[in-house]
Amino acid sequence: MDMNTKKLKKNAFRITKKRYLTASRVRVPGGHMNAELLAAVTKIAKEYGNGTVHITSRQGFEIPDIPFGDIPKVNELLQPLIEGLHINQQAKDGGYPSSGTRNITACIGNCVCPYACYDTTAFAKRVEGAIFPNDLHFKIALTGCPNDCAKVRMHDFGVIGMTLPQYDKGRCVNCEACVKACKKKSVEALKTVNFKVERNHAKCIGCGECVINCPTRAWTRSSEQYYRLTLMGRTGKKNPRLGEDFIKWVDEDSIVKIILNTYGYVKEYIDTSAPGGKEHIGYIIDRTGFAEYKKWAMKGVGLGSDAELRETIYWGGVDYT
pLDDT at 91: 61
Mean pLDDT of all residues in 64-81? 91
Q: Report which secondary-structure segment, H or E, holds 167.
A: strand 166-167
The dihedrals phi and psi of 203, each to the nearest 5 degrees, come to: -95, -30
Give the pLDDT confidence score for residue 316 in this predicted structure: 86
Same domain for 109 and 143?
yes
Q: Parallel, antiparallel, or unpaired: how do β-strands 244-250 and 13-15 relate?
A: unpaired
Are 313 and 285 a contacting pair, CB within 8 Å? no
How many whole angstroms separate alpha carbon 60 and alpha carbon 80? 16
190 and 41 fall within a common domain? no
- 36-59 pLDDT per residue, tens: 999 989 999 999 999 999 999 999
**pLDDT for the residue numbered 82:** 87
Higher pLDDT, 279 or 175: 175
Query: What is the pTM (predicted TM-score) of this model?
Result: 0.92
135, pLDDT greater than 90: no
Q: Let me know whether 79 and 19 are in one domain.
A: yes
Average pLDDT over residues 71-91: 85
Query: Do 171 and 29 belong to one domain?
Result: no
Higher pLDDT, 27 or 185: 185
φ/ψ of residue 28, rounded to 5: -125, 95
Residue 219 DSSP SS3: strand
Mean predicted lDDT score pLDDT of the chain: 91
Q: What is the pLDDT of residue 276?
A: 65
| CATH number of the structural domain spanning residue 175 | 3.30.70.20
Task: Say yes or no to pLDDT of 10 above 80.
Answer: no
Is there a single domain that holds both residue 246 and residue 300? yes
